[in-house]
Structure 1
Amino acid sequence: MSADDDLNSGLLGIGLSLSDSEDSSQETEKPLTRAEKNAQTEEEFQKLRSVYKAKIENGEIWQTIDLPLKETVSKPLGQELLHAVEELYFFRRYSEALDFVGKVLEEEENASRLDNDSRELLGYYQRRCADRMRQ
């Protein structure tokens, strides 16, 4: 049994159909295989490779975040806030992490825009950094 058979059978076998607004000529086209979807010519690969730059995290995520927060924090922004603190903690830059978390949590406007989980995790890192600085 192939992976495609697994997807089209059983409890989770869901068939999708085109909406009325889509061109009906697409219904007769053969669906692309996984290999066809992932195919990339050497020329396309080399072009992509020439402009690609690896993202290097060096403890500076916190500088890319604009404070005070201007709107309710989306999940990606919430994760970025946490990653910024985690990164500073990882690099043992506890003082900077405390300053950053303080700016986020101490302003009522910012704190009210965070969900409870994010607020708790930022508070956790705030306590951990304070503990590490006392040691």
Structure 2
Amino acid sequence: MDDEDGDILNIQLSDTEVDENKADRTGQTEADFQAVKRDYRAKVENGHIHKHIKLPLGPAATKQHVQQVLHAVEELYFFRHFRDALNLIKSLQSDGSHQALDSHACKLILCYERKCIHKLNASS
């Protein structure tokens, strides 16, 4: 059999020696890392994302802006602020922001709208 036939048993094994010329994966010195580590503070969201988003979303809204809106609605629902979530959803619909949302985001927001209405009706 010829090695160039491409048969199923034509397997090449790699060298077992470690490649000594591997590139540095961090690209950061230890001093730089320690400086970042010293100044780093974890971002904790506690129900106030909706206060920091900029509405209305324009037609050039980035995916990050859309994700912030989704996270704001989800966070309000999670913290059981159903009326606030409904108000945010209503403002998205009335100010034209919903036009910047893709179909997946629209479906999620409508799902949260139904859930909030259901929760409010159940608690009444």
* Unaligned residue ranges in structure 1 (runs of 5+): 3-31
Q: How does 1:1-135 map to 2 (within 5 A)?
A: 33=22, 36-38=24-26, 40-107=28-95, 109-135=96-122
Instruction: From the CA coordinates, give the structure whose radius of gyration is larger.
Output: 2
CA contact (8 A) 1:62 1:85 kept: yes
Deviation, structure 1 residue 40: 4.6
User: Which gives a bigger RCO, structure 1 or 2 (Cα 8 Å, sep 6+)?
Assistant: 2
Q: Name the amino acid aligned to 2:57.
A: L
- Listed one character per residue, the Cα deviations across residues 15-68 of structure 1 (whole Å, up to 9, x for unaligned) are xxxxxxxxxxxxxxxxx625x222654422221112111010101111111112
Measure the CA separation in 2 of the matches of 1:33 and 1:53: 32
Deviation, structure 1 residue 101: 1.0
Measure the CA separation in 2 of the matches of 1:71 and 1:112: 7
- Partner-residue secondary structure (3-state), 1:53: coil
RMSD of Structure 2 on Structure 1 (CA): 2.3
Structure 1 residues 120, 72: CA separation in 2 closer, same or farther (over 3 Å shift)? farther
- Partner-residue secondary structure (3-state), 1:37: coil
Measure the CA separation in 2 of the matches of 1:40 and 1:68: 39
Measure the CA separation in 1 of the matches of 2:101 and 2:29: 44
Equivalent residue pairs, number? 105
* Unaligned residue ranges in structure 2 (runs of 5+): 1-12, 15-20
TM-score (norm 1): 0.67
More helix by share: 1
